[in-house]
Amino acid sequence: MPKIFYLIAGETQFKRTDEKILRSFASLKKINCQHITDYFNIKIFLNMIWCDTIIMWFASKHSIPVVLLNYFFQRKLIIIAGGFDVAKLRQINYGGMQGGYRTNIGRWILNKANKVIAVSKSNKNEIIQNGRIHNSKVELIYNCIEPPLIEKSDLEKKNQILTVGELNEETYLRKGLDRFIEIARIFPEIKFYHIGKWTDKNGNESKKKIEELISISPLNITYLGYVSRKTLINYYKESKIYLQLSRHEAFGVSVVEAISYNCIPIVSNAFALPELIDEDGYVVDNMSQAIKKIKKTIKSKIDNQQSYRFIKKYSIESRSAGFKKILNVI
């Protein structure tokens, strides 16, 4: 049984899902680095003595102590590079690969990994091109979602539009919330819902950006903030359209979840989004196209036949098999 030291910086649903997967076939010890003092936690040293494999989410500053210690311990090091750490989008000042010390540190960390896991084909290209990592070192293992829970009573959809994601100064442009607001103005008769934590750009709870957005948003947008998992699933079940007009997405867990609950996705032609929806929705290049697809979708009837192919591709079982392969677990 592998002994895994699992290092993260902040909890999210997809990191908890990975932890659950890894614990199903390995012995695991975890550290969540949230403050600079955590970088000097003696447990990092002790966990590296104990483990045979290190798995870290993101090639960022929280990884530095482990990479330095691993010069001595020489454990198998696997990095999941799934977002900001390998992105370079200067138009919105997003990504760790825009140059300077952050880029140099990121590339150094990635170079020290035995394997780098990508969460989409688009993300893999960013790792190779921006991180300057050889293709042979990068393994594609798609992110996954919990299996959808759908009953006959859930098949009736409302003419409402949903988007999901953390809301702050950085995500406002990256997640296309400015576009979401603009589209809502064009369809005053349709209810628009945003679900996601209200934070500052460092991930701390903050109402600064949400108060600004409420002041400029039309009345048909409701900002629900953070909600329970059960409530989120209910909105997936009820919403006819899932709208994600992001400027950058390394994956898009909410898009995949929405499709699994038979929402019709309308997404921007940006990074990982087109590969996620495949034939299950619409990819748009501009606002005019998005408006046309919304008009068409609102009038259409939903096909409630779920795609086995789609659900299998992004299943926990598929991601687990990917981890087992990379860890040589039979």
Residue 119 burial (CB count, 10 A):
24
Q: What pLDDT score was predicted for residue 221?
A: 98
| β-pair type (53-57, 3-8) | parallel
**pLDDT tens figures, 46-84:** 999 999 999 999 999 999 999 999 999 999 999 999 899
What pLDDT does 304 receive? Answer: 66
What's the pLDDT at 153?
53
With a threshold of 0.85, does the pTM exceed it? yes
As a whole number of angstroms, the distance between CA 229 and CA 195 comes to 11
Give residue 204's pLDDT: 87
User: May I ask the CATH class of domain 152-311?
Assistant: alpha beta
- The reported pLDDT for the residue numbered 152 is 53
Please give the backbone phi and psi of residue 200, each rounded to the nearest 5 degrees, phi first: -95, 180
N-terminal to C-terminal alpha carbon distance within the chain: 10
Instruction: pLDDT tens for the chain, 330 residues: list them.
Output: 999 999 999 898 899 999 999 999 999 999 999 888 888 899 999 999 999 999 999 999 999 999 999 999 999 999 999 899 999 999 999 999 999 999 999 999 999 999 999 999 999 999 999 999 999 999 999 999 998 877 655 568 999 999 999 999 999 999 999 999 999 999 999 999 999 999 998 788 999 999 999 999 999 999 999 999 999 999 999 999 999 999 999 999 999 999 999 999 999 999 999 999 877 799 999 999 999 999 999 998 876 666 677 788 999 999 999 999 999 997
pLDDT at 306: 63
Task: Give the pLDDT of residue 120.
Answer: 97
Neighbours of 44 (CB within 10 A): 18
Domain 3-144+315-326 and domain 152-311 have a common topology? yes
Instruction: Look at phi and psi of residue 275 and say left if phi exceeds 0, alpha if psi is from -120 to 50, else beta.
Output: alpha
Domains of the chain: which residue ranges? 3-144+315-326, 152-311
Identify the architecture of domain 3-144+315-326 in CATH. Answer: 3-Layer(aba) Sandwich (3.40)
DSSP assignment string, 273-320? HHHHHTTSSEEESSHHHHHHHHHHHHHSPP-----HHHHHHT-HHHHH
